[in-house]
Chains A and B, each alone.
Chain A
Amino acid sequence: MNIVVGFKIVPDDQMVKVVGDKLNTDAPLKVSTYDKNAIEEAIRLKEKFGGKVTGITVGSNDRKSIREALAMGVDEVIAILVKDPDVYVTAMAIAENVKMLNPDIILFSEMTTDSGTSALPAYVSELLGLPYISNVKSLKIEGNKVTADRGMVSYIETVESSLPLVVSVGGEINTPRIPSVKQIMESSKKPVKEVKFDAQSKVRIREIKPMIVNRKRIVIEESDINKAVDKLIEYLKSDGVI
Chain B
Amino acid sequence: MKAVVFSESPVFLKMAAAVAQSFGGDVIGISDSENVKFVNKLYIIDKMDEDGIVDLISSLSPDVILTGNVRRDRAIAGRVAGKLKLPIVTDVVSLKVEDKKVTLNRVAYSGMGLVTLESELPIVMTIANTQLQPKELQPTVEKVQLKEGRVKIVGRKSTSSGVNLATADIVIGVGRGIGSKENVKYAEELAKALGGAVGGSRPVAAELNWVPEDRQIGLSGLRIRPKLYIALGISGQPQHIAGIRDSKIIVAVNTDKNAPILENADYLVVGNAIDFCKVMLSKLGKK
Q: Taking beta carbons and an 8 Å cutoff, which residues of A are in contact with B?
A: 11, 13-14, 16, 18, 23, 25, 33, 86-88, 91, 110-111, 113-127, 131-135, 137, 147, 150-162, 165, 170-172, 202-211, 213, 215-222, 225-226, 228-230, 232-233, 235-236, 239, 241-242
Interchain CB contact under 8 A, B110 and A113: yes
Cα A232 to Cα B271 in complex, Å, equals 12
Secondary structure call for the A interface? mixed
Q: Taking beta carbons and an 8 Å cutoff, which residues of B are in contact with A?
A: 50-51, 54, 70-72, 74-79, 81-83, 85-91, 103, 107-120, 149-160, 170, 194, 202-203, 206-207, 213-214, 216, 219-222, 227-228, 237-239, 245, 248-251, 257, 260, 262-272, 275-276, 279-280, 283
Interchain CB contact under 8 A, A155 and B151: no
Contact pick for B116, options A121, A206, A241, CB 8 Å:
A206
Q: A118-B74, A134-B75, A203-B119 are in contact. Are A87 and B113 (CB under 8 A)?
A: no
Cα A122 to Cα B156 in complex, Å, equals 22
Interchain CB contact under 8 A, B87 and A152: no
Chain B residues, CB < 8 A from A160: 151-152, 154
Q: A131-B150, A137-B206 are in contact. Are A204 and B117 (CB under 8 A)?
A: yes
> What are 25 A-B pairs at a CB distance below 8 A?
A14-B260, A16-B112, A113-B238, A117-B88, A118-B74, A119-B77, A122-B78, A127-B82, A127-B85, A131-B51, A135-B71, A135-B75, A151-B71, A153-B71, A154-B214, A158-B154, A161-B152, A203-B117, A204-B118, A217-B265, A218-B266, A229-B283, A232-B269, A236-B249, A241-B227
The 6 A-B pairs of least Cβ separation, nearest first, read: A122-B78, A126-B82, A202-B87, A158-B155, A123-B82, A119-B78
Interchain CB contact under 8 A, B245 and A88: no
Chain A residues, CB < 8 A from B221: 153
Secondary structure call for the B interface? mixed
Minimum distance in angstroms from B201 CB to a CB of chain A: 11
Which of B54, B114, B157, B267 has most chain A Cβ within 10 Å? B267
Interchain CB contact under 8 A, A203 and B151: no
Cα A124 to Cα B248 in complex, Å, equals 39
Interchain CB contact under 8 A, A126 and B113: no
Chain B residues, CB < 8 A from A236: 228, 249, 251, 267
Q: A160-B151, A241-B249 are in contact. Are A91 and B267 (CB under 8 A)?
A: no
Contact pick for B270, options A91, A126, A153, A220, CB 8 Å:
A220
Interchain CB contact under 8 A, A155 and B108: no
Cα A216 to Cα B211 in complex, Å, equals 29
Interchain CB contact under 8 A, B159 and A203: no
Interchain CB contact under 8 A, A216 and B271: no
Q: A116-B110, A204-B117 are in contact. Are A218 and B267 (CB under 8 A)?
A: yes
Cα A240 to Cα B115 in complex, Å, equals 33
Q: A88-B88, A211-B245 are in contact. Are A123 and B78 (CB under 8 A)?
A: yes
Chain B residues, CB < 8 A from A221: 257, 270
Cα A3 to Cα B103 in complex, Å, equals 38
Nearest neighbor of A123 in chain B, beta-carbon distance:
B82
Chain A residues, CB < 8 A from B249: 236, 239, 241
Chain B residues, CB < 8 A from A87: 78, 81, 87-88
Interchain CB contact under 8 A, B151 and A153: no
Beyond known contacts A134-B75, A154-B214: 17 more, CB 8 A cutoff: A23-B113, A118-B71, A118-B74, A126-B81, A132-B50, A134-B71, A155-B157, A158-B155, A159-B153, A160-B151, A205-B116, A206-B117, A209-B114, A211-B113, A221-B257, A221-B270, A241-B170
Contact pick for B109, options A23, A207, A239, CB 8 Å:
A23
Interchain CB contact under 8 A, B114 and A206: no
Contact pick for A16, options B109, B119, B152, CB 8 Å:
B109
Chain B residues, CB < 8 A from A159: 151-154
